[in-house]
Structure 1
Amino acid sequence: MTAAILTGHGGFEKLVVRNDVPVPQPKVGELLIEVGAASVNNTDINTRIGWYSKKVEAETSNGAAGGIASIDDDDASWSGTSLKFPLIQGGDVCGRVVAVGAGVSSDRIGERVIVRTILRSYADYRPFESWVLGSECNGGFAQFVVAPARETYAVNCDWSDEELAAVPSAYGTAENMLDRAAVGRERVLVTGASGGVGLAAVQLAKRRGATVIGVCAPNKAADVKAQGADQTIDRHGDLVAALGSETVDVVIDLVGGPQFRQLLELLRRGGRCAVAGAIGGPIVEIDIRTVYLKDLTLYGCTFWGDQVFENLIRYVESGQFRPVIARVYPLSDIVLAQQDFLSKSHAGKLVLVPPRRRQPKPTFFNQ
């Protein structure tokens, strides 16, 4: 099959598209999926350059093209353990089931599916432990991928494969943050609001009845408002001056960086801040007095409860949101897609499409 192979931590030269990669075979409890589309996420770049290593203190864009010189391979992953190369990345998968492993009903063959990015099966469903599709196991930047059957969800809707491929990582992350912070009819601030996760958070917060403020570049303001934001503010400006102290109930933060201290100033007493990214830099300044004197709650959000993805499937099938697709690329243009992603010139998701392949008769691995 054709697949984009990550050969190690580093620059774009570590991404190699090959046409001779063996098609994986599903093991017990797994499915084989022919990938229809897979979208690009910030974690693809972070994983490639080793940004998750605790030795890295700079923002995501530092070394995104050429790699980072000083990292520790042993902790440069979501799980804090070393990755196994070669690796097929891609945490977002939409496709069709073409084969099943032992213990999985053959009735699932033919289903159009998406896969939960944060996988619990491989961690025996222990709380706050997970594997990430495309990190601890091979992902969707290929013609075929295997995934746990119980974490692969059939979806019945009229969306394109490209639209469904935009859902798992971005909308899963956003819904998880909103769920963890128990967002309701409140005033919610979303940082990085024009990106994939940011726009998802705007849409999903709005469906909960929130008044949404998006932080973005001025040239993206119209795009963010089109997805439901009631107000936008310039990401380069003084956030407290723009909104006033203690004017926000919940912050959904995907950026971190030097503005993080201001986010806590914006929160009302008893406010909540959910964090699931640090593209502006992982090392932030906090006045701890602000946290305890205002009775603030800070949520770190990686692990997804089972209800998060189940909610998303329900939202999709009932048409409660629609992803914004900025551009679609053939899988062979994965480097160009990442370059465009890093340019931050788009609003919405960038999606990769592998070459189509004529299928042989469906194979069963559960005899």
Structure 2
Amino acid sequence: MSASQSMRAVRITAHGGPEVLELTEIAVPDPQGREVLVRVSAVALNNTDLWTREGAYGRPGAPKTQSGWRGSIDFPRIQGADVAGHVVAVGTGVEASLVGRRVVVDPAIYDAEGPDANPVGLMGSERDGGYAEYVTAPVERVHDVTESPLTDDQLATLPTAYGTALGMIERGRLHKGETALVSGASGGVGLALVQIARARGARVLAITSGPKIDAVREAGAHEVIDRAGDIAGQIRTHAPQGVDVALDVVAGELVTEGLPLLREGGRWVIAGALGGYDVTFDVRRLYLHNAQVIGSAMHTPAHFDLLMDLARRGEVQPVIAATFRLDQAAQAQEELSRRGHVGKIVMHP
């Protein structure tokens, strides 16, 4: 690759609606020291893409302020956290043998070295991402999955959705034989939670809405709870002994209603606020039952290593809802925001 080569990319230059996504032609980035250059085969979409574009994350003490995931976005920014592709060039200090390998990129930017570091930034937000023909990444974040039975499209769905799901399951200490409750089960993270919890040997109760019930059951849920009905009542029916771990991307009123349904020592893990961020609950239900409410943002490097092992063995089967071309990025994001699909939306640069 020479620096003079150009590539197509989709960037945002400001917060706003789908109209701020612009297809442009820019120079292919050069991999710096300890970086690799990846030719993108597939890039998956996430709610993060919508919220980053809209500036919907708020700030501490100012929840309505336009902001990226971790503060101001440095525009212009190429979106896209979830990349599968092939290494085509390496920077200084990187083994040339990586060239040609099929890889998945861990999109997290961490606060420290080591396996338990916390994510404090994200590719497509704090650095340029995969809505492009090529992307650079630090070599430590690049995982060789050449041998995986999964397709490039399936591999691209893993980093954010399955990484977030595995982070929740690990932080919630879900064990074989326990009962897990999954909210928002038809979404990207929700379906990943159902699949990984099932692979762990947990009994999975999943909350979703009417037309998506069959797809969620097919993904591995033992029991499906219809969101339109009495949710707490349905949970009691299917788990009369209570729930060990709630894996929740919805929050809102579900926390209020659901916390009393945890077993002694139960864990309620929250990684999203699709149902509302302003939550009230009876704190007595927390301390009298040794329950825990756990916040979970994405994954650690150790969690991501576990995820890549699952991918190499093909132990999860991501569902692809739809595919789009790069020049259809706005349509792809609008499709995502409608939430009519089950599984993940993928673009092909």
Equivalent AA in structure 2 for residue 266 of structure 1: L
Equivalent AA in structure 2 for residue 295 of structure 1: N
- Distance in 2, Cα, partners of 1:246 & 1:288: 21
Q: CA deviation at 1:243?
A: 2.0
Counterpart in 2 of 1:36?
Answer: 41
Most deviating of 334-343 and 39-48: 334-343
- Distance in 2, Cα, partners of 1:83 & 1:246: 46
Counterpart in 2 of 1:12?
Answer: 18
* 1:285-300 pair list within 5 angstroms: 285-300=280-295
- Distance in 1, Cα, partners of 2:23 & 2:96: 32
Counterpart in 2 of 1:67?
Answer: none
* 1:181-196 pair list within 5 angstroms: 181-184=172-175, 185-196=177-188
Sort the Cα spacing of 1:210 and 1:135 in 2 relative to 1 into closer, same or farther, 3 A: same
Counterpart in 1 of 2:212?
Answer: 220
* Other structure's SS at 1:284 match: coil
Counterpart in 2 of 1:361?
Answer: none
Normalised by the length of structure 1, the TM-score is: 0.88
Per-residue CA shift, 1:150-193, capped at 9, x if unaligned?
11001022322111111111111111110111101201000000
Per-residue CA shift, 1:128-152, capped at 9, x if unaligned?
3532111111111111101110110
Q: CA deviation at 1:259?
A: 2.1
Q: CA deviation at 1:263?
A: 2.1
User: Number of residues paired by the alignment?
Assistant: 336
Equivalent AA in structure 1 for residue 49 of structure 2: D
Normalised by the length of structure 2, the TM-score is: 0.92
Counterpart in 1 of 2:4?
Answer: none
**Are residue 231 (structure 1) and residue 226 (structure 2) matched?**
no
Taking only aligned residues, the RMSD between alpha carbons, in angstroms, comes to: 1.7
* 1:85-100 pair list within 5 angstroms: 85-100=75-90
- Distance in 2, Cα, partners of 1:147 & 1:36: 15
**Are residue 248 (structure 1) and residue 243 (structure 2) matched?**
yes
**Are residue 352 (structure 1) and residue 329 (structure 2) matched?**
no
Most deviating of 40-49 and 276-285: 276-285
* Other structure's SS at 1:37 match: strand
Counterpart in 1 of 2:279?
Answer: 284
Sort the Cα spacing of 1:219 and 1:303 in 2 relative to 1 into closer, same or farther, 3 A: closer
**Structure 2 stretches of 5 or more lacking a match?**
1-6
Counterpart in 1 of 2:265?
Answer: 270
1:246–1:265 CA contact under 8 A, matched in 2: no
1:190–1:214 CA contact under 8 A, matched in 2: yes
Aligned-residue sequence identity (percent) comes to 40
In the TM superposition, structure 1's runs of 4+ consecutive aligned residues that sit over 4 Å from their partners are 122-126
* Other structure's SS at 1:27 match: coil
Counterpart in 2 of 1:45?
Answer: 50
Sort the Cα spacing of 1:127 and 1:161 in 2 relative to 1 into closer, same or farther, 3 A: closer
- Distance in 2, Cα, partners of 1:56 & 1:349: 31
**Are residue 158 (structure 1) and residue 149 (structure 2) matched?**
yes
Per-residue CA shift, 1:34-53, capped at 9, x if unaligned?
00000010011111111111
- Distance in 1, Cα, partners of 2:229 & 2:30: 51
* Other structure's SS at 2:26 match: coil
- The partner residue of 1:326 within 321, 324, 327 is 321
Per-residue CA shift, 1:301-351, capped at 9, x if unaligned?
115222211111111111211100011100111111111111111100000
* Other structure's SS at 2:88 match: strand
1:272–1:296 CA contact under 8 A, matched in 2: yes
**Are residue 72 (structure 1) and residue 62 (structure 2) matched?**
no
* Other structure's SS at 2:310 match: helix
**Are residue 26 (structure 1) and residue 40 (structure 2) matched?**
no
Equivalent AA in structure 1 for residue 221 of structure 2: A
- Distance in 2, Cα, partners of 1:265 & 1:256: 14
**Are residue 83 (structure 1) and residue 73 (structure 2) matched?**
yes
**Structure 1 stretches of 5 or more lacking a match?**
58-70, 355-367
Q: CA deviation at 1:56?
A: 7.4
Per-residue CA shift, 1:264-309, capped at 9, x if unaligned?
1221121001111112222222222221122111111115222211
Counterpart in 2 of 1:66?
Answer: none
1:130–1:303 CA contact under 8 A, matched in 2: no
* Other structure's SS at 2:264 match: strand
Equivalent AA in structure 2 for residue 242 of structure 1: Q
- Distance in 2, Cα, partners of 1:246 & 1:301: 25
